[in-house]
Amino acid sequence: MPRAATTSDVFNAIAEPRRREIINALAGGTAVAVGELVKRLRLSQPAVSKHLGVLRKVGIVSVAKHGQRRVYRLNARELKPVHDWVKTHERFWSHQLDRIQERAERAAAERLASVNQHPKKKEK
Amino acid sequence: MPRAATTSDVFNAIAEPRRREIINALAGGTAVAVGELVKRLRLSQPAVSKHLGVLRKVGIVSVAKHGQRRVYRLNARELKPVHDWVKTHERFWSHQLDRIQERAERAAAERLASVNQHPKKKEK
DNA sequence: TTGACATATTCCTATATGGGAATATAATTC
DNA sequence: GAATTATATTCCCATATAGGAATATGTCAA
């Protein structure tokens, strides 16, 4: 089997450095035209359009017609699966907090965010 | 140019679903032998070994000889770059916490952390 | 040593690139 | 309509897979 398609999921989409650059360029929240991205990334226009196409298919960005140009906006919510997955392993590098304190911290955060209703994470 | 090598960086390494499964299987923190991973993942032994090779090169896992088997351990710290990058965009999907609450949550966590480092110190 | 077991490596192939060049499509202006 | 601008798409190719099969390497046991 060959490598999975970049459009298969978010993890594959963000594996490409240029696409992460595009995402970073859109991090401000405002929509940016393709030409503007071409300038910032110093990449050819077709290349940028193709990367945007990948990000579009995965849902990370959305387009809107604005005159004769297309402005792209970041839909960062699609990055949440990545965040959630990585966060599972966060305790391994946050050494300033040991297990007990981490649990306390989490409890404090949940108290403050009383609105949220995540299922509680199990810990041995 | 073709896609970047999977061994080039962590983002590429975790783009492959089977490798994420391997990482998940090692999430417990204890070292696991290759054969055990083969059983859990229902993947051929060579395939598992190859994926482990990729994860090794990137530094996500480390090996140790244990008798005639090699036990692999997760080095989750290598995932931190991914965590940091994704976290930049976290505010876009964590709507249940508004800015003030998020700040309060962070302050609470820091308070708990600093208590650890300076047991009797007062909060700043 | 011989044999059995555990893991790594090599060889192979079908497939999916990412970028450049050229071209197509679409909107704007003259 | 014609020329111009902005963007998308197509064609091409060198490259890097991921997995299966076969093989090599390494380690233990009798």
CA dist., res. A60 & res. A71, Å (int): 14
User: Across chain A, what does the average pLDDT equal?
Assistant: 83
CA/C1' separation A30–D9 (Å): 27
B25 φ/ψ angles, rounded to the nearest 5 degrees: -65, -25
Contacts of B4 (CB under 8 A, 6+ apart): A15, A16, A17, B12
Q: Which residues of A touch B (CB under 8 A)?
A: 3-4, 6, 9, 11-12, 14-17, 20, 23-24, 27, 29, 74, 76-77, 79-80, 82-83, 85-90, 92-93, 96-98, 101, 104-105, 108-109, 112-113, 115-116
Q: What is the mean pLDDT of residues B97-121?
A: 50
CA/C1' separation B45–C11 (Å): 17
Which residue of chain A comes nearest to B3, CA vs CA? A16
pLDDT of residue B95: 65
Tokens of B73: 């351990």
Query: B31-89, pLDDT tens digit by residue?
Result: 999 999 999 999 999 999 999 999 999 999 999 999 999 999 999 999 999 999 999 99
